Each structure stands twice: as structure tokens, then as C-alpha cells.
Amino acid sequence: MNMLFDFTVDKATATIYITREFAADLDLVWDAFTKAEMLDQWMGPKPFRVQTKEMDFREGGRWLFAMVSPENVARYSLVEYIEIQPKSSFSTKNSFCDENGNPINTGFTSSLTTNSFKAGAGTTTVNIVKRMASLSELEQFIAGGFYKEGTAMGFRNLDDYLLTLVTNK
């Protein structure tokens, strides 16, 4: 099944807009985006993997995780939960950090992201709005197509993961 995937960059507002449809119900897709044990299964574009160090999904909580390379090199990111509307949307502040969640200088400050979820007939559509701090940070972030391709790969991993969950019910 070919699911909708739209990736748009608006340089005027330093914002990335992503729309992706998944062949699973809202509860399952919501959990896949908000539970560490599920995020670790799909988020990293292969051959990378995601490893959660800390997860506290609540307003004011945070998710500290590493993107781990095949050589076992970990690059940490911090997601700070700002607002959560259960089964509908959540917004976050995202930044690169050390293994304890302290900011590190990577040339990026932080981005603000809103993830919205909408149930359809046997599908769930996720809309992601990622606002970077500046146009130069946006251009660095999307340079070489890595972010778009990495996002697409992660979503294909999620398609595969959701399929295993649906067929094992």
C-alpha cells in the first residue's frame, strides 16, 4: 500500500511541513510516537538505531535519546514536551545535547515541532510542523536531502513495525 508522504520546506518561515499517512488506527500510531519502547523500534533510519535514555511523556517532561551508528557512536537529542492534547497533538522543543541532556554547540539552537494526528478509515494521518530558529539553520538541517530521506526511511520502518503489531493482534 502506498501511503501519502508530503515534505515541504518553506524558507520564508524556516519551517518544514510533513504529512504522512499510516495504515493503522489512531491509538496505535499515537503510541508509536509517544512510547519509548515503540519509538526505539522504528525512529532511526537504517543502519542507525534509536536508543532511549529517558522518557517522561507529559507536559514539562522530556525524551532523551541517542541516534546510534553501526559503529556504536551515539549522538544525543533532547525533546522537551510543551503541550499535549491526548490522541490529538503534542508540541515539543528539540535540540542536540550530550548524554545528560545538556545543550551542546552544533551550530543549531533548537526547533519547535507540532505533531498532529487525525483518524481516517483504517488509517491515521500525522501532520508535523517543524519550525527552525533561522533560515541558515533550516538550510543546514536539510542540506543534501538527509533530513527528508532519513524521515522517509524512519516512516517506512514505522510502516513495517505497525504491520507486525496489526498482524500479531
Provide CB contacts within 8 A for 61, sequence distance 6+. 55, 80, 81
Tell me the three cell numbers of residue 140: 543546514
Instruction: Calculate the CA 48 to chain-centre distance.
Output: 14
Strands (E), 31-163: 49-55, 62-68, 74-85, 89-97, 111-119, 124-132
% of the chain residues with pLDDT over 70: 96
The model's pLDDT over 24-61, given as tens digits with 9 standing for 90+, comes to 999 999 999 999 999 999 998 889 999 999 999 999 99
User: CB of 64 within 8 A of CB of 54?
Assistant: yes
Contacts 24+ apart (CB under 8 A), 9-14: 9/138, 9/142, 11/135, 11/138, 11/139, 13/131, 14/131, 14/132, 14/133, 14/134, 14/135, 14/137, 14/138
User: CA-CA distance, 157 to 163, in Å (whole number)?
Assistant: 10
User: Cα separation of 100 and 77, whole Å?
Assistant: 10
pLDDT tens digits for the chain (169 residues)?
Answer: 578 999 999 999 999 999 999 999 999 999 999 999 999 999 988 899 999 999 999 999 999 999 999 999 999 999 999 999 999 999 999 999 999 999 998 778 899 999 999 999 999 999 999 999 999 999 988 886 668 998 999 999 999 999 998 877 6
